[in-house]
Every structure is written in structure tokens, then in C-alpha cells.
Amino acid sequence: MTSRSASAAAFAQAKRFIPGGVNSPVRAFRGVGGEPFFVSRAAGSRIWDVDGNEIIDYIGTWGPAILGHAPEPVVTAVREAAARGVSFGIPNPLEVEMARLICQWVPSIEKVRMVNSGTEATMSAVRLARGFTGRDKIIKFEGCYHGHVDSLLVRAGSGALTHGEPDSAGIPRPLADLTLCLPFNDREALRAAFQREGAQIAAVILEPIPANAGLYFPEPGFLETLRELCTAHGTVLIFDEVMTGFRVARGGAQEVYGITPDLTTLGKVIGGGLPVGAFGGRAEIMDRLSPDGPVYQAGTLSGNPLAMAAGLAQLHALERLDGWSRLERLGAALEDRFRSAIRRHGLEERRTFHRIGSMFCLFFSRGPVRNLADAAQSDREAFARYFHGALDRGVYFAPSPFETGFLSLAHTEEDIEETGRVIDAALAL
Ligand code: KE4
């Protein structure tokens, strides 16, 4: 049995000073039971906890560590940037280099503004869409998570789902009532909502590939219908690519599906592990932002040189290494291990594996999984046994059935081999 006494002591201390002992709810293991471990260091595909246990990491700090942990290009860039000053609050060339790269890699983005988290990005994008259209209502989809924005914590995914409080306390009912929440992949519900109140809808925001209720995919025609309806009604279409941006393809999910949103939100990968978010899109909309336009949005540390240096180093390395091809190869190898273990244990009717590139998820239910209602069928107890079984054998998967796993360029074929053996053992529990 893996010893985690030092983590237990650290958690006891943490709970004295930090709500729930964590700075973000999903870290608390409430979705799987038990107590979280504390990490002491990480490098490549591995993390070491404070008890010295070495673990293969398939979370990668929830997406940012696409090169693996402590990648040399990022660490060097951060060290060199820090020596020149950690933050200025004054425009600096790195912000322009980052903005130019984002606009070049994501053609739908004509102008972009940096912020400090995915939440700030989606919050700002929704306010901008409301300011641009002069409308108040927005549409989101059940199970999609866009950060802890008041208007978007309505039947959200991720930690909000895991903790069974999709409609968070503290959100004024009149504000929540301005958010229409529809089932993902339900084109009829979408058409009916637009038919009923299309002229009042400022924006539709979605994860084009939902990954916060487990990982599932838009069905053929869904994104196309969404694009048509938004265009017809003058509604701003916002793709929340905080998770998929620069991961599922260089141009994100919008490149994979060939759909052009009006605004896109980004985060995670673009910060190389430092606090960064961004939102951008049509110049006609972005130019409504202060100081040119009437929609106010600001941030002390937005575009700070350390985060820009880290993000640029990561993105340039990703392109230099043609990371997306290698991530696809690694993902296919991992998928093969999952599927052969599912077959070996005769679980084809009770497990559903989804993957796109380096993002993957194992649902503990039969397929198809097309939306939150399907994902919610997951056998949580069986998932918890699998999660802890894997962790006790040195592999860290997401501590919730409503999250997605991530591979990095630091994962090796040997890691995948070792993980395959662990999956086989954990699925038998
Ligand atoms: P942050 O504010 O956590 O940087 O980003 C919010 C966000 C926005 N949009 C999408 C699609 C996201 O996945 C996220 C954050 N993802 C979660 C993982 N499911 C972050 C982990 C956490 O909450 O601790």
C-alpha cells in the first residue's frame, strides 16, 4: 500500500488555512473519495508526491503542461524574462508577439486581449457580446464549464458538476435567469430557443468539444446549425477553447470542425503553466473594448512578460516539434491499451472510451455518450475504485468521472506500456 503520510499531514495543515484544504475544488478528491496527495516536484510526464511516490501524470495541471512538466524551453524563457523584470503594467513587445501568433494560428481571431485565467476570458467575452449586441440573454449548454463566472455557473460541468451544485450559491436569480441552458447536441431545442427569443440572445457560448463532463463530441450538423442560427439572429457565437485551443490542432477545435466563431476564448496551453487567458475574434466586436469602445475590461497582470515568455516558448516548441502529430500517435497508443483492457475484462457494454488527439476520457457507462445526461450515467463507485487502483499503482488519472485526461509530448512509449498494465489491473477492481 502506497504511503501518503506526509500528504495527509500537509492536507490537515491545509484545511486549517484554506477552504476545503484546496485552492480549487476539483483537487479535493470529492469525486473519488479519500484525500488528495501533495506534489513536491514534477518533470516530464512524472510527478513526485511529498512522500516520494513517483507517478505518471495524465492531468498535466488540467491542460497547460502540453510539453510535460518543467520543459526546458519554458523554464529557460521564464528564468530569462524574470531577470528582466517580472511585471511592468506597461505595454511590452512580448504581448504583441503573443497577440500576433494567436491571430496567425487562429484565423477567426483578428484582435485578441490577454487576461489571467480562462474564467476571466469567458467573463470578458460574454460582457463584450452583451455590449456589442445590446442584448442580455445568453445560451450555454448543460455540462459545459466555462470557469466560475456568475452567468455561466448554471448547470455547469467540471467541479461544479462533481460537487452536485450546478447552480452555485451566491448567484442572483435575475442574473441566472438570463442564461438559457440547453442539452448539448440537441438541434431542435436550439432552433426552438432561437425561434422563441432569438432577437434577445446576445451570445451562445460552448465548448465546441465538451471536456468538463467527461469528453464527448458535437454530432454532425450541430455546430453548423449553431453557426447558421447565430448568423441569422445577429447572435455572437463564442467558442470556449480554453481546453482545446492549440491542443486538438494548431488552430483548435474550430480548425478540426471548420466552423468560424465570432469570438474565441483561450487559456492553459498559451501560458505554459503560468496564469494566462485570452479572448479574441472579429475586430468589429473586439474594437468595442475600452479604451476605444464602451465595454470595460482590464487587468493588472494581463500580458505580463513572464506569462508571455512562457506561453511563447511553449507554443513555438509545440510547432517546432510538430507536437500535434506526436500527440496523436501517443493518444492512439494509449487508446489501444484502454480498449484491449476493456475487451479483456468483458466491459464493452459498461465502459465507453472517448479520445481526440491527446485528450481522453473513460466513461463508466455504456455508450453512446452525447451529452451531460448520458455522461451522468457513470458508475461513480466503480470509477472511484479504478481511480484509486491506478493511483496506488503509480498512475494519476482525473479525480472525477466528469473530467478529461491529457497526454503531453513528454509521455513516452514506455510510459504508455506501464500505464497499460496499470489500466488492466485497475479495471478489474
Ligand atoms: P480557469 O479560470 O480555471 O483558468 O479556466 C476556466 C475554464 C474555462 N473554460 C474551460 C473549457 C475550462 O475547461 C476551464 C477550466 N478547466 C478546469 C478543468 N476541468 C480547471 C480545473 C480547476 O477548476 O481546478
- Of 49, 57, 240, 415, the active-site residue reads 240
**Distance from C-alpha of 280 to C-alpha of 124, rounded to nearest angstrom:** 10
User: If you measure from the C-alpha of residue 361 to the centroid of ligand 1, how many angstroms do you get, rounded to a whole number?
Assistant: 16
For residue 242 and ligand 1, the question of a CB distance below 6 A is answered with: yes
The values of phi and psi at residue 127, to 5°, are -65, -40
CATH number for the domain spanning 121: value is: 3.40.640.10
Total domains in the fold of the chain: 1
Ligand 1 near 276 CB (within 6 A) = no
Q: Quick check: is 280 in a domain? A: yes
What is the residue whose three cell numbers read 451562445?
204
State pLDDT tens for residues 315-369. Answer: 999 999 999 999 999 999 999 999 999 999 999 999 999 999 999 999 999 999 9
Please report which helix (H) or strand (E) contains residue 278, including its range.
strand 277-281
User: Has residue 310 been placed in a domain?
Assistant: yes
190, part of any domain: yes
User: Quick check: is 216 in a domain?
Assistant: yes
Check residue 163 and give its pLDDT. 56
Is residue 240 in contact with ligand 1, taking CB distance under 6 Å? yes
Among 57, 140, 145, 216, the active-site one is 145
Residue 215 lies in a domain: yes
What is the value of pTM for the model shown?
A: 0.97
**Within a domain: 206:** yes
Distances (CA, A) of 147 to 144, 150, 171, 212, 296: 10, 9, 14, 10, 20
Q: 186: closest CA among 371, 388, 399, 423?
A: 371
Which portions of the chain are predicted below pLDDT 70?
1, 161-166
Atom of ligand 1 nearest to the CA of 119: 2
63, part of any domain: no
Tell me which residue has cell 473519488.
Answer: 32
Burial of 15 (0-12, 13-18, 19+ CB in 10 A): middle
The tens digit of pLDDT for each residue in 192-239 reads 999 999 999 999 999 999 999 999 999 999 999 999 999 999 999 999
162 ligand 1 Cβ < 6 A: no
With respect to residue 60, please indicate whether it lies within any of the assigned structural domains.
Answer: no
Query: Are the beta carbons of 277 and 113 closer than 8 angstroms?
Result: no
Helix (H) or strand (E) run with residue 313 in it: helix 305-320
For position 210, what pLDDT does the model report?
A: 98
Answer whether 415's CB lies under 8 Å from 382's CB.
no
Instruction: Determine the pLDDT at residue 164.
Output: 46
Give SS3 for 280. Answer: strand
pLDDT at position 17 is 98
Q: Any catalytic annotation for residue 240?
A: yes
For 140, the domain range is 75-319
Can you tell me the distance from the alpha carbon of 408 to that of 413, in angstroms, rounded to the nearest whole number? 12
Contacts of 375 (CB under 8 A, 6+ apart): 143, 213, 214, 216, 363, 365, 369, 401, 402
Atom 8 of ligand 1: nearest residue by CA position: 146
Say if ligand 1 is within 6 A of residue 400 CB: no
Long-range contacts from 290-296, C-beta under 8 angstroms, 24+ separation: 293/131, 294/131, 295/127, 295/128, 295/131, 295/132
145 given a catalytic annotation: yes
So what's the pLDDT on residue 161?
Answer: 67
Residue 268 catalytic? Answer: yes
